[in-house]
């Protein structure tokens, strides 16, 4: 059985481990497909100020209380019942017993605050040296002290536990694909948009990227009579009202703007998803006095994107905007070229005046497992802490974001690196090398753009910060820890 928000019932994990490996795969896949209630979001994004985006893309029919009290109570009861019956430890490929007497690990060691990173790092070391008995004991402890509805440490440990389970049972790729498929199929456009706008209000991850990108775009688009924006993002175009307004306010005649949105959603035809978005943007552009054209192109495999799909025109100033999208290109080798490198080369061949990129600053793809694992743990510990400080524990939006994190953990820890469909994050230095090899050169963002980011972050809770690195990138921080980076590039 699964809990209501797509978080596995740990009793199910225990029963599955006792089954044969084939039964595990079939049962887990079946139950995941039928019951996981997730929403597809590649970390929500927005581009302009929240107020302007909300005005152009209003959300109706939204209840601030989220799920009903009865449903929450039912979930909590299920969780308590599962905890009472659970005795979690691996002693063979498919058996569970309690932690053996005399073990140096016990529940009392992991209380208070910030215990999860310590415990989870111990798990990483045990995995790296294949110390199964130690990992068995640690997983039993995680089961006892974690909860998908608890505090930051409990929720972080609960998500990692799922990734450990899938790694042990060898079902990581199958579960990862199931989770992604369920996320695509179980969400509606209105729900995604609602979640996106609510997350923008609480977290600056996407608004940070949008302010940086819009600032970089305005630096190259001033006085351009015709502008073509290629948007490769899953942001429902919430970035563009502010840019349109800024373009309309510059001296002289307003430019003609053509917006091509590359959508990679697999659940519905793009015209059904984006019809309302295009209509609202067109009305807003008309209000601003800007000639505007809107087009959607569906390309589910970004690594197969081709310049011909963008309908390029020689008399237009082309800009390409990638918000949390380049990491969605799987990094496999075909014909001697890595797919991510081929994708960046395609963007370079389109000869944009500027390419803007926002990505999570996280290396989950290092060949050394301990380095990759410690980076993964550091980022998610920081991210979960930011959720704790900005969302109530019962927040629907918080649970959605935590499910996205779980998918990323499963991808990083439980999936074979040779599988083409698996997507892993890379950090700013890795993307910098790739972009330079593709023929791009970065440029330092203006002081005005940096100041705009500072003004934006003042609107959020204390703890958020930013700085400009020696590489010219702008970095977003939470309590001093780097979380995301934004950068601008031009073809050499």
- What ranges make up the beta strands (E) of 264-341? 292-298, 317-323, 333-334, 337-338
Q: Identify the band that residue 40 occupies on the pLDDT scale cut at 50, 70 and 90.
A: very low
Q: Of all helices (H) and strands (E), which one includes residue 407?
A: helix 396-414
Whether the per-residue pLDDT at 67 is higher than 50: the answer is: no
Tokens of 232: 């490769």
* Predicted pLDDT of residue 364: 84
| Domains identified in the chain and CATH numbers | 190-363+423-491 (3.40.50.150)
Q: Which of 357, 319, 321 is nearest to 474 (CA)?
A: 357
Query: DSSP letters along 78-114, please?
Result: HHHHHHHH----BSSSS-B-PPPTT-S--GGGS-SSS
| Of 355, 336, 353, the residue nearest 344 (C-alpha) | 355
Q: pTM of this prediction?
A: 0.79
Residue 202 tokens, joined: 């609480």
In this predicted model, what pLDDT tens digit does every residue of 99-136 receive, in sequence order? 444 445 544 555 557 899 999 999 999 999 999 889 88
Tens of pLDDT, residue by residue over 444-463, are 899 999 999 999 999 999 99
Q: What is the pLDDT of residue 420?
A: 58
Per the document, the length of the chain is 492
Q: How far is CA 291 from the centre of its chain?
A: 33
User: What angle, rounded to 10 degrees, do the helices at 447-457 and 205-221 form?
Assistant: 150
Q: pLDDT over 70 for what percent of the chain?
A: 73
Tens digits of residue pLDDT in 404-453: 898 888 888 888 766 655 677 899 999 999 999 999 999 889 999 999 99
**Mean pLDDT value of segment 325-329:** 91
pLDDT digits (tens, 9 = 90+) for 282-314: 999 999 999 999 999 988 889 999 999 999 999
Instruction: Give buried/exposed letters for 40-76 (b at 16+ CB in 10 A, else e).
Output: bbbbbbbbbbbebbbebbeeeeeeeebeeeeeeeebe
For all residues of the chain together, what is the average pLDDT? 79
Give which of 214, 122, 223 is closest to 446, Cα–Cα.
Answer: 214
Count the neighbouring beta carbons within 10 Å of the beta carbon of residue 364. Answer: 22
pLDDT at 15: 42
Does residue 193 have a pLDDT over 70? yes
Instruction: Give the range among 27-31, 137-141, 201-205, 479-483 with minimum mean pLDDT.
Output: 27-31
More confident residue, 263 or 354: 354
> Please, what is the end-to-end C-alpha distance for the chain in angstroms?
55
């Amino acid at each position: 059985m699964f809990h209501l928000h797509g978080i596995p019932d740990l009793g199910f994990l225990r029963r599955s481990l006792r089954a044969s490996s084939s039964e595990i795969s079939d049962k887990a896949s079946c139950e995941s497909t039928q019951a996981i209630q997730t929403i597809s979001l590649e970390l929500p994004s927005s581009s302009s100020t929240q107020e302007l985006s909300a005005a152009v893309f209003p959300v109706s029919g939204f209840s601030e209380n989220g799920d009903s009290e009865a449903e929450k109570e039912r979930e909590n009861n299920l969780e308590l019942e599962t905890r009472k019956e659970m005795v979690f430890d691996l002693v063979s490929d498919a058996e569970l017993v309690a932690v053996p007497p005399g073990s140096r690990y016990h529940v009392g060691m992991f209380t208070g605050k910030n215990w999860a990173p310590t415990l989870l790092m111990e798990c990483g070391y045990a995995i790296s040296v294949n110390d199964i008995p130690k990992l068995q004991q640690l997983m039993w402890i995680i089961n006892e002290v974690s909860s998908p509805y608890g505090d930051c440490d409990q929720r972080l440990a609960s998500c990692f536990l799922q990734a450990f389970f899938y790694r042990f049972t060898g079902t990581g790729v199958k579960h990862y694909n199931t989770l992604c498929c369920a996320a695509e199929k179980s969400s509606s456009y209105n729900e995604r948009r609602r979640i996106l706008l609510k997350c923008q209000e609480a977290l600056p991850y996407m608004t940070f990227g949008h302010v940086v990108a819009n600032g970089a775009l305005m630096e190259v688009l001033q006085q351009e009579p015709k502008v073509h924006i290629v948007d490769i993002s899953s942001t429902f175009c919430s970035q563009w009202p502010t840019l349109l307004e800024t373009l309309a306010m510059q001296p002289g005649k307003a430019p003609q703007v053509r917006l091509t949105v590359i959508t990679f959603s697999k659940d519905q035809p793009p015209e059904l998803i984006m019809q309302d978005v295009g209509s609202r943007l067109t009305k807003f552009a008309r209000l601003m006095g800007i000639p505007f054209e809107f087009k959607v192109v569906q390309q589910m495999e970004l690594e197969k994107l081709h310049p011909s799909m963008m309908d390029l025109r020689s008399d237009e100033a082309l800009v390409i905007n990638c918000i949390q999208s380049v990491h969605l290109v799987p990094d496999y080798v075909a014909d001697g070229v890595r797919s991510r490198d081929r994708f960046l080369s395609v963007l370079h061949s389109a000869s944009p005046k500027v390419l803007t990129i926002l990505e999570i600053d996280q290396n989950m793809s290092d060949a050394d497992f301990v380095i990759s694992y410690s980076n993964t743990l550091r980022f998610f510990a920081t991210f979960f802490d930011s959720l704790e400080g900005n969302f109530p524990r019962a927040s629907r939006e918080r649970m959605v974001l935590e499910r996205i994190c779980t998918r990323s953990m499963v991808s990083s820890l439980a999936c074979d690196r040779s599988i083409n469909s698996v997507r892993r994050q890379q950090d700013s230095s890795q993307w910098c090398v790739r972009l330079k090899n593709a023929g791009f050169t970065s440029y330092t963002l203006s002081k005005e753009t940096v100041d705009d980011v500072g003004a934006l972050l003042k609107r959020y809770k204390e703890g958020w910060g930013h700085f400009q690195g020696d590489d010219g990138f702008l970095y977003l921080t939470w309590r001093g820890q780097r979380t995301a980076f934004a950068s601008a590039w031009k073809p050499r």
